[in-house]
Amino acid sequence: MALSYEFSIGSVRAKETSLLNAQDVEQLLSCRSEAELCAILTDKGMGSGASVDEILADYTESTWAYLRSTAPDFDIFTPFLLQNDSHNFKVALKGVMASREYRELMLSPSLTEHDKVVKAVENRRMSLMPECLQKPCDEAYELLAHTSDARAADSVLDRAVMEEMLRAAEKCSSEFLRRYLQTNVFYNNIKTAIRAARAETGKDYLEKALCECPQFRRNAVIDAAVKGSDYLEDALSKYSEYECNKAMEAFRESPSAFEKFVDNKLIRMARECCKRASEGAEPLLGYYLGTEAEKKVVHIIASGIRTGKDAENIRERLREIYG
């Protein structure tokens, strides 16, 4: 029997109650060791394993199994999975070219099985990759093989993923997903431009790396970036699109504060739209994005524990959660 959104929404609303809430986060912040953190995460049903990474990998696997069994239209998650395909091709390509181990760096789930990604690289059979990535994968292969320019190779694939996200945004029936993907691409462009300006990368790189995006002033950003990071940051602080000016206020504090602003903006979008939705794909999308926000918070806490940071220091870096 075909799944319906009426069924999936009822299921996901019940599932949402297991997401971390503010009280749970405070409990995690009280942990003094990774072993203690693992015990609490296991008790909360996030997964099993001897380390935080193992628990979160288990959690990721169970989340996607649930979404596959519940979503009437699983294609709504394709833009997110495609990012893992791109990542996996990058690490396989660099690993094969440098003759070093890389499989442990590959991410799941993805649209393409890991073995197929490896074959795509080793045999230069890009037809094994998703259609929208086949040409960019071949171009990235060519760049890395003949120029050893990993940054340029990465940028080809990053742009291809962003352009596919925008195509998905235009085709999807979910207004939330459209806005979410466009916002994501906008800020990916901004991050790329800032990194390029700071590295004093030339205009040719920016032309290839930055994609067209609604309300993104591509030509103006490129012109500003080639004039230097200070010039670019000043220009971006004057843009109101997607609250770019507010994001740059955070950037003046630190690059990590900028990343936190963007992450919080995206999860707020999900919380405001998806938690109130009573039909369509939004509740499922919100739940998925909620699990991703949870994992980011757990990673930050685990990293803080490993490096001996106190709870207050870790708290300053935490992102907002969906639950």
Model confidence over 85-139: pLDDT tens digits? 999 999 999 999 999 999 999 999 999 999 999 999 999 999 999 999 999 999 9
Q: Over 80: is that where the pLDDT of 3 sits?
A: no
Write down how long the chain is. 323
Q: Which two tokens stand for residue 194?
A: 């800032």
Give the model's pLDDT for residue 2.
Answer: 61
- Residue 292 CA to residue 281 CA, distance in Å, equals 17
For residue 69, pLDDT beyond 60: yes
Contact 57, 47 (CB under 8 A): yes
| Alpha-carbon gap, residue 181 to 295, rounded angstroms | 20
Contact of 79 with 171, CB cutoff 8 Å? no
Share of the chain above pLDDT 90, in %: 94
Find where tokens 């045999």 sit.
123
Secondary structure of residue 298 in the 3-state scheme: helix
What is the average pLDDT score of the chain? 95
DSSP annotation of 137: H
Token readout for 256 is 């990590």
What local confidence, expressed as pLDDT, does residue 233 receive? 97
Cis peptide before 109 (omega within 30 of 0): yes
The pTM for the full model equals 0.94
The answer to whether residue 166 scores a pLDDT higher than 90 is: yes
pLDDT at 276: 87
Tokens representing residue 299 in the block = 């990673």
CA dihedral sign of residues 308, 312, 249, 211 = positive
| Stretch 152-162: mean pLDDT | 96
- CA nearest 187: which of 108, 253, 246, 111? 246
What amino acid occupies position 23? Answer: Q
Q: What is the pLDDT of residue 113?
A: 97
Number of other residues whose CB lies within 10 A of the CB of residue 246: 13
Structure tokens at 77: 């998650």
Q: At what angle do helices 229-236 and 244-253 cross, to 10 degrees?
A: 130
Look at residue 9 and tell me whether its pLDDT is greater than 60.
Answer: yes
Neighbours of 109 (CB within 10 A): 17
Q: How far apart are CA 28 and CA 25, in angstroms?
A: 5
